């Protein structure tokens, strides 16, 4: 296990985020469950309390997933004109799969970007 202050070469936020690994060492696991974060890295000991992804991952998932699913639903409607139950049978599971599949990698990527750019909550200078 590395010491918490050991310098580590910079890693790609995209790769570490998509893999769900520690943004500093790229070895330890970032997630405990599907979306629950570990309290610290099991490999290098980085404390993950600085992490605040907020609603960012959900916003990106909504925009990307909505674009894909609604585009396909519109194309299906204009091309085949199926009954509404066909849309429900096709696009409800597709929505769950796309949104569920995108949420964890996007959350990991945003956390890795937050670590790389040392983003933190804003403070006022004159307080």
Q: One digit per residue, pLDDT tens: the chain, 127 residues?
A: 445 555 666 889 999 999 999 999 999 999 999 999 999 999 999 999 888 888 999 999 999 999 999 999 999 999 999 999 999 999 999 999 999 999 999 999 999 999 998 887 776 777 5
pLDDT at 127: 59
Please tell me the pTM assigned to this model.
0.85
Domain limits, the chain: 13-116
Please provide the DSSP assignment of the chain as one string: ---TT-------HHHHHHHTB-TTTS-SBSBSSSSPBPSB-TTT--BGGG---TTHHHHHHHHHHHHHHHHHHHHHHHHH---HHHHHHHHHHHHHHHHHHHHHHHHHHHHHHHHHTT------TT-
pLDDT at 1: 47
């Amino acid at each position: 296990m590395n010491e918490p202050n050991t310098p580590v070469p910079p890693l790609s936020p995209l790769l570490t985020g998509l893999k769900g690994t520690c943004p500093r060492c790229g070895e330890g696991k970032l997630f405990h469950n599907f979306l629950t974060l570990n309290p610290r890295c099991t490999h290098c000991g980085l404390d993950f309390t600085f992490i605040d992804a907020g609603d960012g991952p959900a916003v990106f998932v909504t925009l990307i997933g909505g674009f894909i699913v609604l585009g396909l639903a519109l194309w299906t409607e204009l091309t085949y004109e199926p009954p509404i139950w066909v849309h429900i049978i096709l696009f409800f599971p597709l929505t769950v799969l796309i949104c569920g599949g995108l949420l964890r990698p996007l959350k990991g990527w945003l956390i890795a970007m937050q670590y790389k750019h040392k983003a933190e909550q804003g403070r006022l200078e004159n307080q």
